[in-house]
């Protein structure tokens, strides 16, 4: 995937993200969600209203303690008295906090459902991307992009709606109170303080965002190397490369630590500057209020109220730098995730695609050409017909295009020329789901989920019963091994099946395909990891399963395909020979040469195997 380097991005990028996230805050057709959003906004307004009037009751309570201040006071305030006003002050503080919590509780399901929907959309899209993308992707980096992007959505939903908007509302209300309760100079000082504070915060935060981007890049790099190293654990051990892997990881972590240190230092400068600005504003306003009290224009309660309002706006302003930085970073993280969502799928169903209908199961490759890269063609005018119920084997040297035939059959790619059909239906005209449901695949290297053996076999057919799973395992000659395990079919195989041997993994993969019971089979070196005795048993099972089905066998070991109805020899992306085993040997061409070389190789290996057996 081609990605631009992370940057703060133009404002349009932010609006693009907000346009994508916004509909989840007001989901169409979801009445409950809309009611919750409305109630959350109402709770927000009540909470902010209670917060803004709290200092007013504090002022009246203070003034109420001075008997002289009661002259001219409104009747309802005299009725409440100092104790009543103190209780009212406490009530307002409680309501401000309580309704803020009500707001969060009411909105939580909406936010979490939005988060879930976006995460699901991303997950489904990644699975919809082509094999070409997944071959070139880096798992560690991709997982970090998704993780940060989803967290960014969560942060944006909560803080943009319930931090920035309430902060602006609260500052506006406090400004109005200063204007009407005091005079325009108080408003000017407060507004100036807020303006300088916001300017300073945004400038320093922009600087910090660039440091944060560098820190995230290093974090992604370190995570990517760690995951890649762990996935190749055995290779690392084979080459005694633990030190090298640790050094590579440490180099990335050193860059991360450097950037993280800069982030902490810059945060210290940000906090210090914010504190200085807000303190100067506070001192200036308090000095003006103190002069007003000395002149008799203000009461002590007014002085206290000014102090309370200044302290009150200090708290949300104190979070402004963090919130702004996190929103900026969230936009960057989400931009990376939405770039991923904008990555087009190479293989998509045609608008009028219909489900594949498999009748007899005739497979045809008609004048197919294909290249993973334009300058390196793999198949050239390749033609192949697999008649219904027949087994066709593809043999040839590495790089001749055998595995590519299987990938085109599964429609992981589309041919650049020619067509692939099943019972006359072009694979580009049928749905991918129906196509892949009709084909069973046993790859050369079976990869298993980090789950139980029963789950991995049952993956072949959702809803299969335990008896059916065990029957498939028996057919794949692995039931007795599974039964001998302490946990039986509930035994966990480990990540990528590392707790099983290569042959055991392969037999689980074969059982999985046997359970699927598809009308078309593709066997890509399906028995390459098995010992001779087990291979014979599995070959018999595969042969039995292949009866009445169309089977394509990709083979390197020619002894496994001598019974095939037809053997096709590939070389340079073309079919250069085709026929039965006996006919090709009689021809004395490329297949006969391959056969002689394998016989000679096996003859040379046999004495070594016997010697090893004697030593054991």
Q: In angstroms, rounded to a whole number, what is the distance separating the alpha carbons of residues 176 and 42?
A: 21
Determine the pLDDT at residue 145. 67
Q: Are 318 and 88 in contact (CB under 8 A)?
A: no
473-486 pLDDT per residue, tens = 988 888 989 999 88
First-last CA distance in the chain:
51
Reply yes or no on whether the pLDDT at 592 is more than 80. yes
At 120-174, the pLDDT tens digits run 777 777 776 666 665 555 555 566 666 666 766 766 766 666 667 777 777 787 7
Residues paired with 366 in a beta bridge = 419
Q: Residue 427: its pLDDT value, please?
A: 93
Give the pLDDT mean for 340-349.
73
For residues 351-364, give the mean pLDDT.
Answer: 90
Question: Quick one: tokens of 135?
Answer: 């071959």
Give the residue with greater pLDDT, 185 vs 613. Answer: 185
The arithmetic mean of pLDDT across residues 586-615, rounded, is 71
Q: Would you list the domain boundaries of the chain?
A: 11-342, 363-438+518-615
* More confident of the two residues 589 and 30: 589
Determine the pLDDT at residue 607: 55
pLDDT band at 7 (very low <50, low <70, confident <90, very high): very low
Amino acid 160: pLDDT: 64
Model confidence at 227: pLDDT above 70: yes
Choose among 464, 476, 480: nearest CA to 506: 476
pLDDT value at 85 more than 80? no
**What's the confidence (pLDDT) of residue 262?**
86
pLDDT at 104 over 70: yes
Q: Given pLDDT bands bounded at 50, 70 and 90, which one contains residue 219? A: confident
The CATH number for 363-438+518-615, chosen from 1.10.510.10, 3.50.50.60, 3.40.50.300, 3.40.50.280, is: 3.40.50.300
Amino acid 4: pLDDT: 41
pLDDT at 429 over 80: yes
Residues 6+ apart with CB under 8 A from 140: 220, 223, 224, 225, 226, 227, 228
Q: How confident is the model at residue 97 (pLDDT cuts 50, 70, 90)?
A: confident
| pLDDT for position 601 | 74
**How large is the average pLDDT for residues 28-43?**
82
What pLDDT, on the 0 to 100 scale, is given for residue 419?
93
Supply the pLDDT for residue 137: 57
Quick check: 449 pLDDT over 80? Answer: yes
For the chain, give the mean pLDDT.
Answer: 79
What pLDDT, on the 0 to 100 scale, is given for residue 465? 92
Q: Could you read off the pLDDT of 363-400 as tens digits, one per residue?
A: 999 999 998 887 788 899 999 999 998 999 999 888 88
Q: Which of the pair, 441 or 216, is modelled with greater confidence?
A: 441
**Contacting residues for 61 by C-beta, under 8 A, at least 6 apart:** 82, 85, 86, 88, 89, 301
**Is the pLDDT assigned to residue 611 strictly greater than 70?**
no
Predicted TM-score (pTM) above 0.75: no
Residue 177 CB partners (closer than 8 Å, separation 6+): 52, 56, 309
- CATH level 2 (architecture), domain 11-342: Up-down Bundle (1.20)
Name the least confident of 366-375, 465-474, 602-611.
602-611
Give the Cα separation of 522 and 435 in Å (integer). 13
With 0-12 / 13-18 / 19 or more C-beta atoms within 10 angstroms meaning exposed / middle / buried, residue 287 is exposed
């Amino acid at each position: 995937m081609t990605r631009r380097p992370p940057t703060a991005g133009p404002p349009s990028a932010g609006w693009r993200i907000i346009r994508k996230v916004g509909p989840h805050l007001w989901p169409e057709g979801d009445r409950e969600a809309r009611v919750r959003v409305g109630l959350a906004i109402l709770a927000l307004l009540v909470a902010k209203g209670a917060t803004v009037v709290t200092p007013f009751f504090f002022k009246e309570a203070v003034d109420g303690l001075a008997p002289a201040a009661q002259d001219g006071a409104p009747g309802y305030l005299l009725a409440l008295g100092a104790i009543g006003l103190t209780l009212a002050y406490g009530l307002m503080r409680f309501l401000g906090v309580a309704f803020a919590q009500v707001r969060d509780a009411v909105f939580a399901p909406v936010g979490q459902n939005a988060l879930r929907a976006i995460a699901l959309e991303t997950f489904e899209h990644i699975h919809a991307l082509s094999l070409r993308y997944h071959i070139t992707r880096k798992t560690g980096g991709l997982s970090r992009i998704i993780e940060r992007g989803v967290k960014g959505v969560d942060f944006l939903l909560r803080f943009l709606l319930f931090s920035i908007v309430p902060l602006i509302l609260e500052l506006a209300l406090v400004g109005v109170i200063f204007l009407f309760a005091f005079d325009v100079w108080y408003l000017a000082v407060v507004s100036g303080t807020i303006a300088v504070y916001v300017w300073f915060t945004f400038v320093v935060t922009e600087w910090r965002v660039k440091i944060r981007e560098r820190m995230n890049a290093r974090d992604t790099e370190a995570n990517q190397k760690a995951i890649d190293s762990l996935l190749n654990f055995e290779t690392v051990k084979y080459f005694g490369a633990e030190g090298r892997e640790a050094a590579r990881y440490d180099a990335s972590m050193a860059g991360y630590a450097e950037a993280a240190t800069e982030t902490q230092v810059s945060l210290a400068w940000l906090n210090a500057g914010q504190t200085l600005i807000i303190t100067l504003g506070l001192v200036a306003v308090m000095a003006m209020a103190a002069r007003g009290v000395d002149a008799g224009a203000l009461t002590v309660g007014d002085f206290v109220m000014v102090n309370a309002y200044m302290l009150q706006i200090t708290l949300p302003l104190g979070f402004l730098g963090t919130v702004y930085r996190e929103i900026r970073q969230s936009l960057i993280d989400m931009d990376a995730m939405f770039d991923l969502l904008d990555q087009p799928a190479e293989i998509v169903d045609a608008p009028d695609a219909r489900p594949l209908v498999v009748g007899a199961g005739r497979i045809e490759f008609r004048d197919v050409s294909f290249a993973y890269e334009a300058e390196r063609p793999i198949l050239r005018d390749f033609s192949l017909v697999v008649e219904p119920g027949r087994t066709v084997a593809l043999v040839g040297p590495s790089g001749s295009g055998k595995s590519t035939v299987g990938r085109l059959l599964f429609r992981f790619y589309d041919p650049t020329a020619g067509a692939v059909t099943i019972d006359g239906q072009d694979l580009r005209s049928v749905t991918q789901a129906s196509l892949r449901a009709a084909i069973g695949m046993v790859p050369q290297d079976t990869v298993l989920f980090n789950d139980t053996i029963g789950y991995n076999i049952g993956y072949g057919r959702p809803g299969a019963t335990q008896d059916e799973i065990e029957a498939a395992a028996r057919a794949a000659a692995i039931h007795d091994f599974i039964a001998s395990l302490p946990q039986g079919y509930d035994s966990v195989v480990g990540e990528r099946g590392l707790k099983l041997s290569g042959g055991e993994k392969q037999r689980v993969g074969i059982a999985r395909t046997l359970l699927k019971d598809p009308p078309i089979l593709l066997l890509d070196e399906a028995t390459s990891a098995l010992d001779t005795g087990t291979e014979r048993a599995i070959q018999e099972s595969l042969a039995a399963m292949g009866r009445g089905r169309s089977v394509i066998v990709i083979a390197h070991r020619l002894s496994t395909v001598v019974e095939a109805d037809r053997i096709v020899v590939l070389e340079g992306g073309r079919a250069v020979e085709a026929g039965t085993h006996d006919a090709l040997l009689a021809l004395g061409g490329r297949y006969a040469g391959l056969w002689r070389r394998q016989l000679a190789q096996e003859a040379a290996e046999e004495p070594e195997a016997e010697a090893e057996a004697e030593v054991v």
